[in-house]
A and B are shown apart, each in its own frame.
Chain A
Amino acid sequence: MRNRSRHKQRRVFSGVNLAALLVFLFIALPLYWMIASAFKTPANVGASPPQYLPHPASVQNFNVAFSQNTFGRYIVNSVIVAVAATALVLVLGTLAGYAMARLPMRGTFTILVILLMISVFPEIAVVVPLYALLRDIGWLNSYQALIIPYTAFFLPFAIWILRNYFLAIPHEMEESARIDGANPLRTIWSIILPQAWPGLFTAAIFTFTACWTEFLMALSFNVSNDYRTIPVGVALFGSQFTVPYGTLFAASVVAVVPIGILVFIFRRSVVSGLTAGAVKG
């Protein structure tokens, strides 16, 4: 058995590698199409039959996104809002998720159901009253107008995710720490978190992308260009009767960069976190 699996790993054309290649193609082909089209000239974006390679390659779409539209501003705003909300969600969600996974609170189930209800409630129905609320406290056109609602609406599901992963962590170490009289925050920090990396990563990715792509609240609460985020910014591209595919794709290519940087920064901890789980017994 062992020999066979080791033998398998050495072959280049193993089933696993072939499957990985299929996955790669499934994900990458549409992405390639977007990136290639971002570098086409505006005329060639609509060429029929389409060009498989951008020829000539052009950065005109990027120029339109950045100079005719203030796309740089939107990226900065999106990063500020998404990073702040994700950080808040992770901190608050870890505390609450740990409590609900481990501590004998009464009514946990009720709370979890209410949280589920909150996270499924259609955004369209809450945006109008929430607008009035934010207006009353004078928060319209600010970063907190998005950071706080995002935190509140994405926390419930993050708590579900985190609680789920915390439940899967063996109790023993924690119990001994508790018997030793360790402070609960310290227990979370030094015992739970190191083992919960995959869960934290999943919750962080979920929250970050939810903030990153949210449209309706961002559209309604911040109408000043200084606070608009990427999804709203791209809705201002073009004009009524045109679909500015080239500009949209150029913007989307650039919008991937901050995500890439984040993945790069956290690559070590994420990958090691994910593999550490696999190695440890």
Chain B
Amino acid sequence: MSTRRSDVFRRKLARLGWGLSAPALTVIAAVTVFPIAYAIAMSVSNVNATGSGFSLSGITGSNYSIMFHAAQWRYALFFTIVYTAVTVAVEVVLGTAIALVLERLSAGRGWMMALLLIPWSMITVINAQLWGYIYNPTYGILDTVFSHIGLGTPVVLGTRVPAIAALMVADIWKTTPFVAIIVLAGLVMIPRDFYEAAEVDGASGWTAFWRITFPLLRPTIALAVLFRVLQAFGLFDLPFVLTSGGPGYSTQSLAILAYNAMFRDLDFGPGAAVATSTALLVVIGCLLFLRVFRAQAEREA
């Protein structure tokens, strides 16, 4: 806002803003507030699942205490954080690289975009089954390729590290394209004259990227990171189909743990505690990330 405006005008604009936001906020509140509040309430009550709904009684911290004391929760938290960190890092670097390539591609960009959308729009469960088929130990293509090049027949999903890596590959394949699309959309919004100025200055492609493209792209990359962190933290379908959380508890994510607690063991209280704390952790993580990001951006500006 370059010019100073009168308070009256400012208030009018704010009212207008609320007016424009009201439909969206109303729909969101009407649908999401009650279920989320109910889930949070479950996480601090003694919940009994009964044929006629849940009975919530009292306010207790025992669900959270059970959770903090469970080795399974601690491992699931560790696994989910590591999984998120690795996949998001790979996807953002790879996705940015793909976006840069697509932006420079002289022909066939439309086709490449369409191709990128296919993995992203694939039904998640089918994506998991596709990779299950690829990793299949008796007739999977991976097994065949490995034995052709003399690496024997690996039991991909049977041991911890390869199983986690296998999940990550499937995730990266499906999600990198969307990161690329987000970044590409940010890339094409950078005005062309910035580059032309750089070319006049004689900056090399690499320097131009770090000096011009990257700083201008940073909000978009931040959005992509944010988006991916949210999704990766909710990791569910891939391990549910490919490993059922195994071998052992190796690939049991927080979402699988919460699902098992609620829908397999009918422990709705502890399950809701896992779900609620996961959401809190992610939001805190995202806010910290945005704060660091903003501080960084301000320092450089």
Asked if A167 contacts B101 (CB within 8 A), the reply is no
Find the residue from A125, A205, A270 having the highest chain B CB count within 10 A. A125
Which segment of B58-66, B156-164, B219-227, B243-251 sits at the interface?
B219-227
Asked if B279 contacts A117 (CB within 8 A), the reply is yes
Q: Is A227 an interface residue (CB 8 A)?
A: no
Find the residue from A9, A95, A167 having the highest chain B CB count within 10 A. A95
Q: List 7 A-B contacts (CB under 8 A).
A: A27-B173, A111-B21, A113-B287, A122-B255, A130-B34, A159-B24, A271-B109
Q: Is A189 an interface residue (CB 8 A)?
A: no
Q: Is the interface of A mostly helix, strand, loop or mixed?
A: helix
Q: Which residues of A contact B116 (CB under 8 A)?
A: 27
Identity of the chain B residue whose Cβ is nearest the Cβ of A198 in the assembled complex: B185
Asked if A213 contacts B124 (CB within 8 A), the reply is yes
Q: Of A103, A168, A235, which is within 8 A of B20 by CB?
A: A103
Q: Of B32, B125, B132, B219, which is within 8 A of A153 by CB?
A: B32
Interface positions of B (Cβ within 8 A of A)? 1-2, 10, 13-14, 16-21, 23-25, 27-28, 30-32, 34-36, 38-39, 42, 53-54, 97-98, 101-106, 108-110, 112-126, 129-134, 138-141, 144, 173, 177-178, 181-182, 184-189, 191-193, 199, 202, 219-220, 223, 226-227, 230, 233-234, 236-237, 254-255, 258-259, 262-263, 268, 271-272, 275-276, 278-279, 282-283, 286-287
Asked if B27 contacts A155 (CB within 8 A), the reply is yes
**Given A113-B287, A121-B275, CB of A205 within 8 Å of CB of B138:** no
Interface positions of A (Cβ within 8 A of B)? 1-2, 9, 16-17, 19-20, 23-24, 26-28, 30-31, 33-34, 37, 46-50, 88, 92-93, 95-96, 98-100, 102-106, 111, 113, 115-130, 132-133, 148-149, 151-153, 155-157, 159-161, 164-165, 167-169, 171, 184, 198-199, 201-202, 205-206, 208-209, 212-213, 215, 230-231, 234-235, 243, 245, 248-249, 251-252, 255-256, 259-260, 263, 267, 270-271, 274-275, 277-281
Question: For the complex, what is the distance from the CA of A274 to the CA of B99, rounded to whole Å?
Answer: 12
Asked if A50 contacts B144 (CB within 8 A), the reply is yes
Q: Of B32, B110, B131, which is within 8 A of A152 by CB?
A: B32
Separation in Å of the A78 CB from the closest CB of chain B?
9
Q: Which residues of A contact B25 (CB under 8 A)?
A: 96, 111
Q: Which residues of B contact A270 (CB under 8 A)?
A: 113
Separation in Å of the B277 CB from the closest CB of chain A?
10
Question: For the complex, what is the distance from the CA of A239 to the CA of B236, rounded to whole Å?
Answer: 22
Separation in Å of the A146 CB from the closest CB of chain B?
11
Question: For the complex, what is the distance from the CA of A263 to the CA of B117, rounded to whole Å?
Answer: 9
The 5 nearest A-B residue pairs measured at CB:
A103-B17, A198-B185, A152-B31, A125-B275, A277-B188
Q: Which residues of B contact A164 (CB under 8 A)?
A: 219-220, 223
Question: For the complex, what is the distance from the CA of A54 to the CA of B62, rounded to whole Å?
Answer: 57
**Given A117-B279, A126-B32, CB of A165 within 8 Å of CB of B185:** yes
Asked if A279 contacts B192 (CB within 8 A), the reply is yes
Asked if A122 contacts B189 (CB within 8 A), the reply is no
Asked if B35 contacts A28 (CB within 8 A), the reply is no
Asked if A129 contacts B39 (CB within 8 A), the reply is yes
Beyond A152-B32, A153-B31, A243-B129, 5 additional contacts (C-beta under 8 Å) are A33-B133, A48-B139, A88-B27, A116-B286, A263-B114
Asked if B282 contacts A120 (CB within 8 A), the reply is yes
Asked if B21 contacts A130 (CB within 8 A), the reply is no
Asked if A125 contacts B115 (CB within 8 A), the reply is no
**Given A99-B18, A281-B191, CB of A267 within 8 Å of CB of B110:** yes
Asked if B31 contacts A27 (CB within 8 A), the reply is no
Question: For the complex, what is the distance from the CA of A240 to the CA of B26, rounded to whole Å?
Answer: 43
Q: Of A106, A149, A165, which is within 8 A of B14 by CB?
A: A106
Asked if B189 contacts A23 (CB within 8 A), the reply is no
